[in-house]
Amino acid sequence: MLTDKFSKAGARILIGAGVLAFIIGVIGGITEADWPFSGNLLLSLILAFIGLLCAGLGAERLGPMEKLIDATKNIGRFRWINTGAEVYEEAERMVRECNDRCIIRATDLTPNREKLTSDEFISYITALGNRIEQATQKGGNVTYRLVFADDPKDPHRYGRKGLEKRRELMNRPGVLEQLWARYVDNPCPLEVLIIGSSVLLGFPTAAQGGSRPLGAGILIEDAESAHEFEQWYDGFLWGRAKDVK
């Protein structure tokens, strides 16, 4: 936590380090760059998470140190989620509680067979379809944006199969039209769900052995932080992803 003793120069260094950590931890994973912390994936993801929050303060917000000090308190507004089942539970809760006019931003960057056949995944996508249907019936507009990994080296094309599974579970009047999907070529061991002022990060843990993609997670409940994630998702991830043919 920053204190009044930190100079503005120190604040700029912190933000610069945050940008670097984010690029290394997340953007590097989505592109073809190597993971510098490949021996400790959890550490890399934590660095990316903290880095994004620090960088999100922005140079233009540097202004009075009091504002910077207050902004850094947002870093404490998150909690750990210890199991993949809890990650899906939180995802369902976020979906159920979203308003009738919102954009649900999501990823499927670690697609595999276990995810597609898991009860948690099926329950989550079913709840998502139900929520979109409810909003549509009320005259609302809930849009579901999905960026998934379609690894050309994967002979099973689990990313494409994941999209097909979603379409199958959401196949009802007025719902499929609200599903917008794009893809990236390279998988990344990180999942993101952004709804309103909440952000849910899911990632594998060493204990899971990679068999279940969502081994743990972080829930962030802060409007300012969620806005930073929205900008990253819209500007970098969605903006650079390819249209599904």
Q: Which domain holds residue 141?
A: 77-243
The answer to whether 159 and 165 are in contact (CB under 8 A) is no
**Does one domain contain both 89 and 166?**
yes
**Does one domain contain both 66 and 121?**
no
pLDDT tens digits, the chain, 245 residues: what are they? 444 444 444 444 444 444 455 544 544 444 444 444 444 444 455 555 555 555 444 444 444 444 444 444 555 577 888 888 899 999 999 999 999 999 999 999 988 888 888 999 999 999 999 999 999 999 999 999 999 999 888 888 999 999 999 999 999 988 999 999 999 998 888 899 999 999 998 887 654 444 455 678 889 898 888 898 999 999 989 999 999 97
**Does one domain contain both 101 and 132?**
yes
> Smallest Cα–Cα separation from 92: which of 128, 40, 133, 64?
128
**Does one domain contain both 85 and 60?**
no
Strand 101-108, strand 179-184: pairing: unpaired
Q: What is the pLDDT of residue 3?
A: 41
Which residue do the tokens 């979906």 mark?
A: 95
Three-state DSSP state, 69: helix
**Does one domain contain both 54 and 165?**
no
The answer to whether 176 and 188 are in contact (CB under 8 A) is no
Instruction: Domain count for the chain, please give it.
Output: 2
Three-state DSSP state, 91: helix
CATH of the domain at 192: 3.30.870.10
Last residue of a domain, one of 60, 76, 92: 76
Q: What is the pLDDT of residue 39?
A: 43
Q: CA geometry: angle at 184 spanning 182 and 186, to 5°?
A: 155
The answer to whether 156 and 205 are in contact (CB under 8 A) is no
**Does one domain contain both 92 and 144?**
yes
Last residue of a domain, one of 31, 47, 76: 76
Q: What is the pLDDT of residue 53?
A: 53
**Does one domain contain both 36 and 83?**
no
**Does one domain contain both 58 and 112?**
no
Q: What is the pLDDT of residue 68?
A: 40
**Does one domain contain both 70 and 83?**
no
Chain-centroid distance of CA 128 in Å reads 16
The pTM score is 0.70
Last residue of a domain, one of 76, 96, 126: 76
Residue 200: how many CA atoms within 13 Å on its side-chain side?
A: 25
Q: What is the pLDDT of residue 48?
A: 55
